Amino acid sequence: MFAYRFFLRVSCVLALSMAFVGWSQGSSRPLAATPPMGWNSWDAYGLTITEAQFRRNVTVLAGMRALGWKYAVIDEGWYMRDPMASGAAAQHFVLDGHGRLIPAPGRFPSAAGGAGLKPIADWVHAQGLLFGIHLVRGIPRESVRRNLPIAGSQFTAAEAGDVSDVCPWDDGNYGVRDNAAGQAWYDSMISLYASWGVDFLKVDCISDHPYKATEIRQIATAIRKTGRPIVLSLSPGPTALGHAAEVAKYAQMWRISDDHWDVWSHVPQAGQGEFPLGTRQAFDRLAEWNKWAGAGHWPDEDMLPFGDLEPHPGWGKPRESRLTHDEEQTEFTLWAVARSPLILGANLTNLDAFTRGLVGNSLLIALNQRGDGAPVNTLPAEWKNLRCWESTIASGRFAGRYLALFNVGDEQQSVRLDASAMRTLAPGMTRVREMGTGRAWSAKTGGSIALPAHGSAVVRLESGSMQ
């Protein structure tokens, strides 16, 4: 297990807060220059989160900001009066006079009087964090039925909405036409949310089931018009590799799998989808998307369903994550070295000690934020049921070359790292240091690491003689 130290230093917090301000006011750095890190309400609260619950989780997240955790995202349902009801009609979406979704005041009291989510966003920003919300792409059916006027335009909702285009798994919205009225709709809606102080916009039913290229472009255009640096996250997946260049052009992150939950492996039957994608299956998916990961555009393997998934998880019954500690560590290590966005799904107010230590691991976060991770495709012949990623951190405290080793098999394995293995994996490297224990050995004499079933380890590769 990786050692963990959870501490805050005033100088670090002040520096990070200043970085947030500079980013929000414009910077030469690209938007999402490193993989976004933060927390999303879906895995623990589903549609049901309230303002009080959100604030309690954000308070915990603020204590993690010096490590890089900075986005606080309210997922689907913040505009529903009755989120536990079945179907949009019974959930009672709350709309303004222009048909735009606004927060349900009974669940978000600070929204009273037309303030929207701005008071919450302002409070999140005061914690040194960034604020995000979730939308399903399209226009509310009720807005179209009532043919409400689109703010800032001469168009109406009926001119923007495409009643023949509906999300197959969400009945709240119609699609948006690829015309001037459709663009006016997205301009109006996203302008409102930008005025609240939204920094992150997760848009669903757009990256797959089905893929909606026109609406992706409309949303990106609307964001650009606001002048606010808003990260655009597309969901769900699997986004087709054939769309890689397009999504990388318009979005900062996009889902490369269907929803991932707390299962080690899920092999779908013929004709079935991949939901819920398992950790085991994520290895190949992240490897095939690796070349598209870079500053400003990040393939997203979905949220981390760790720890306490309650009171109302987006899938299944309230529970502690089904992942074992070894599986949780493997997943976090894989997401980190593959540079997938790190978005926690746990109820942070009930965060267990193991998960708290894991997500506070400074080395893994450095690999995610500063490494150049890539899969190692040629492995020693004797390695069975193993996966390996390499990454180099160019400078700073953790500067060096690393290997992340993963046992995807169901039995413990002893992995030997010696001169023969180094000739295959990293020619010129003469010593190995296991980061979890600090144990080190020369490649000449060799050493072994015992990897439990579904377990992982990170080693640092060094050159020169042993000290």
Q: Residue 14 has what pLDDT?
A: 33
Q: Is residue 133 pLDDT above 90, yes or no?
A: yes
Provide the pLDDT confidence category of residue 9 given band limits of 50, 70 and 90.
very low
Q: Is residue 18 pLDDT above 50, yes or no?
A: no
Mean pLDDT of the 249-255 span: 98
**CA 366 – CA 377 distance, rounded (Å):** 23
Q: Residue 162 has what pLDDT?
A: 98
In terms of Cα–Cα distance, which of 359, 371, 376 is closest to 69?
359
Residues 6+ apart with CB under 8 A from 368: 34, 35, 37, 335, 336, 337, 339, 340, 342
List the domain boundaries for the chain: 10-370, 386-462
Q: Is residue 326 pLDDT above 70, yes or no?
A: yes
Q: What is the pTM for the complete model shown? A: 0.92
Provide the pLDDT confidence category of residue 464 given band limits of 50, 70 and 90.
low
Q: Are strands 231-234 and 200-204 parallel, antiparallel or unpaired?
A: parallel
**What confidence tens digit (pLDDT) does each residue in 149-205 have?**
999 999 999 999 999 999 999 999 999 999 999 999 999 999 999 999 999 999 999
Is domain 10-370 in CATH 3.40.50.300, yes or no?
A: no
CATH assignment of 386-462? Answer: 2.60.40.1180
**What confidence tens digit (pLDDT) does each residue in 275-286 have?**
999 999 999 999
Q: What is the mean pLDDT of the chain?
A: 93
Contact 309, 262 (CB under 8 A): yes
Share of the chain above pLDDT 70, in %: 93
**Do the domains at 10-370 and 386-462 have one common CATH topology?**
no
Q: Residue 22 has what pLDDT?
A: 34
Q: Is residue 2 pLDDT above 70, yes or no?
A: no
**What confidence tens digit (pLDDT) does each residue in 389-425 have?**
999 999 999 999 999 999 999 999 999 999 999 999 9
